[in-house]
Amino acid sequence: MMQSRSRATLSYRPQANGQQERSVKTVMKSVRVYAEDPLQQDWDEIPENLIFAINNSMDTTRKETPFFLVHGWDAQSTLKAMSSSLKRGLGRQSDALAWRREVNRQQEIALKMAKEYQTTEKARRARKHNESLRDRERGTAPETGRTVTPSDERSATGAVTGDSDSNATQRNEVSV
């Protein structure tokens, strides 16, 4: 598609441009997600959304977005740019301001609903994962009379007792 392929290289080799390889991999993954959509009716929006996502992804080395490094300011969505530029006025301007207030209110509601959905889905997936574990993997800590506190990173079984996501790949049981 882009005539660029991701090569299996080591990140510490100076011959390989790691950032380019990762960006190609990210673009290809994103396009595949849209390509697997059965309807595929939004092909005209894919590049715009993809470029916006890439431009707003935080660079771990510089702690800035690529858009900020090029332009000197953070990129804004079309909705945010439209809703912040109008001053109060009479007639058509006040109608537009009322419309923009309503759009902003709807956007806040949508963001709140999305956050709630993510929280419930995270809890559901954790519960489903924990239920799928076999009994010996889910076993409780031996009765020692000692209480396991959140400061203890792991219980005797290897399951994390705190709400730490940093060790999510190293544990069997997920806590919410």
Q: Which residues neighbour 70 within 8 Å (Cβ) at sequence distance 6 or greater?
A: none
User: Which pLDDT score, from 0 to 100, does residue 167 have?
Assistant: 43
Confidence (pTM): 0.35
User: Which pLDDT score, from 0 to 100, does residue 141 have?
Assistant: 44
- Whole-angstrom CA distances from 88 to 7, 93, 108 are 54, 7, 21
User: Which pLDDT score, from 0 to 100, does residue 65 have?
Assistant: 82
User: Which pLDDT score, from 0 to 100, does residue 80 have?
Assistant: 67
User: Which pLDDT score, from 0 to 100, does residue 146 have?
Assistant: 53
User: Which pLDDT score, from 0 to 100, does residue 122 have?
Assistant: 93
CB 81 within 8 A of CB 100: no
User: Which pLDDT score, from 0 to 100, does residue 51 have?
Assistant: 77
Q: pLDDT tens digits for 5-39?
A: 656 655 555 455 666 677 777 778 877 776 666 67
User: Which pLDDT score, from 0 to 100, does residue 113 have?
Assistant: 93
Residues in the chain with pLDDT < 50? 14, 141-143, 148, 150, 152-171
Which residues make beta-bridge pairs with 154?
160
Name residue, tokens 């953070």.
74
Largest CA distance in the chain: 75
Smallest CA-to-CA distance from 81 within 53, 103, 58 is with 103
Give the residue extent of every domain in the chain.
Answer: 18-75
CB 112 within 8 A of CB 118: no
Separation between Cα atoms, residue 125 and residue 116, nearest integer Å: 14
Output b/e per residue, 140-156; b: 16+ Cβ within 10 A.
Answer: eeeeeeeebeeeeebee
User: Which pLDDT score, from 0 to 100, does residue 163 have?
Assistant: 46
